[in-house]
A and B are shown apart, each in its own frame.
Chain A
Amino acid sequence: MKKLLTIALLILTHTLINAGGFQVNEHGSRAMGMGGAFIAVANDPSAIYFNPAGLTQLRGFNVMLGATFIAPRTSFRGPAPSVAESKMVRQIFYPINLYASYQLTKDLTVGFGLNNPFGLGTKWPEDWVGRYIATETRLRTFFFTPTISYKITEDISVGWGLDFVYGQVLLKRKVDISPFAGEANVKLEGNGNGFGYRFGVLAKPLKDLSIGFSYRGDVKLSFNGTAETTGPAQLQSQLPQGDVKTEVTTPQNFNFGVAYRVMPELLLAASLQYVTWSSYKDLKVDFVDPKYPDISTPKNWFDSYILRFGGEYSLLSNLDLRAGMLFDKNPIRDEYVDPTLPDSDRLGFTLGAGYKMKNIKIDVSYMFLRVAERTISNSKVYYAGNSPFNGTYNTTTHLFGFNVSYNF
Chain B
Amino acid sequence: MKKVLSIFLVIIALLAIGCEDRSELAPPAPPSTGSVDFSSFVTLGNSLTAGYQNGALYESAQIYSYGKLIANQVGVPFEQPIVSDPGTGGRLEVQALTATGIQLYTNTNQGQPKNTGLNRPYNNLAVPGAFLYDIANATSSTTCYSYVFGGQANPLFDLVLRGQGTMLNQAKALNPKLITLWIGNNDILGHATSGGTVPFTPVANFTALYNALANELANTGAKVVVANIPDVTSIPFFTTVGQTLRAQGITAVWIERGTGDVVPASLETNYLTLRAIDLINQGRGTSRTNPLPNNVVLDSAEAVTVRSIINQYNSVISSVASSKGFGLVDANALLNSARTGITVNGIRFTTQFVTGGLFSLDGVHPTSRGYAIIANEFIKVINQKWGANIPYINVSTIPGSLILRKYDPSKLPQIPKGALDNLLF
Contact = CB atoms under 8 A, between A and B. Distances in A.
Interface of A: 75, 77, 81-83, 85, 176-182, 232-235, 238, 313, 315, 321, 323, 347, 349, 351, 368, 370, 373, 382-387, 392, 394, 396
B401 A313 contact: no
A384 B25 contact: no
A386 B396 contact: yes
Contact of B400 (A83, A180, A315): A180
B369 A178 contact: yes
Contacts of A315: 1, 4
A396 B8 contact: no
Contacts of B23: 75, 77, 85, 373, 392, 394
Interface residues of B, number: 46
B94 A234 contact: yes
B141 interface: no
B404 A385 contact: no
B25 A77 contact: yes
Contact of A178 (B14, B21, B391, B399): B399
B395 interface: yes
Contacts of B399: 176, 178, 181
Given A83-B26, A179-B357, A232-B404, A387 B18 contact: no
Given A323-B7, A385-B346, A177 B400 contact: yes
**Most chain B beta carbons < 10 A, residue from A81, A181, A232, A396:** A181
A233 B18 contact: no
B404 A181 contact: yes
Contact of A235 (B22, B367, B403, B404): B404
25 contacts: A77-B23, A177-B400, A178-B399, A178-B401, A179-B354, A179-B356, A179-B402, A181-B400, A181-B401, A234-B94, A235-B404, A315-B1, A315-B4, A323-B7, A368-B15, A368-B18, A373-B22, A373-B23, A385-B397, A386-B346, A386-B347, A386-B396, A387-B394, A392-B23, A394-B23
B18 A234 contact: no
A235 B404 CA distance: 9
Contact of A385 (B355, B395, B403, B407): B395
A318 to B, nearest CB: 15
Interface string B179-216: 00000000000000000000000000000000000000
Contacts, number: 109
Q: Which 6 A-B pairs have the closest CB atoms?
A: A385-B396, A386-B346, A178-B400, A385-B346, A384-B396, A394-B23
Nearest to B94: A234
A321 B97 contact: no
A387 B346 contact: yes
Contacts of B14: 349
Contacts of B400: 176-182
Contacts of B22: 373, 394
A77 B26 CA distance: 11
Contacts of B357: 178-179
Interface string B153-171: 0000000000000000000
Interface string B372-413: 000000000000000000010011110111111111000000
A83 B367 CA distance: 28
Given A81-B391, A384-B394, A234 B97 contact: yes
B19 interface: yes
- Which has the most chain A C-beta neighbours within 10 Å: B23, B28, B406? B23
B16 to A, nearest CB: 9
A323 B19 contact: no
B51 to A, nearest CB: 14
Contact of B96 (A75, A234, A368): A234
B11 interface: yes
B95 interface: yes
B174 interface: no
Of the listed residues A177, A384, A396, the one surrounded by the most CB atoms of chain B closer than 10 A to its CB is A384
A83 B28 contact: yes
Contacts of B396: 384-387
A368 B8 CA distance: 14
Contacts of B173: none
Contacts of B345: 384-387
Nearest to A266: B4
B12 interface: yes
A179 B235 CA distance: 16
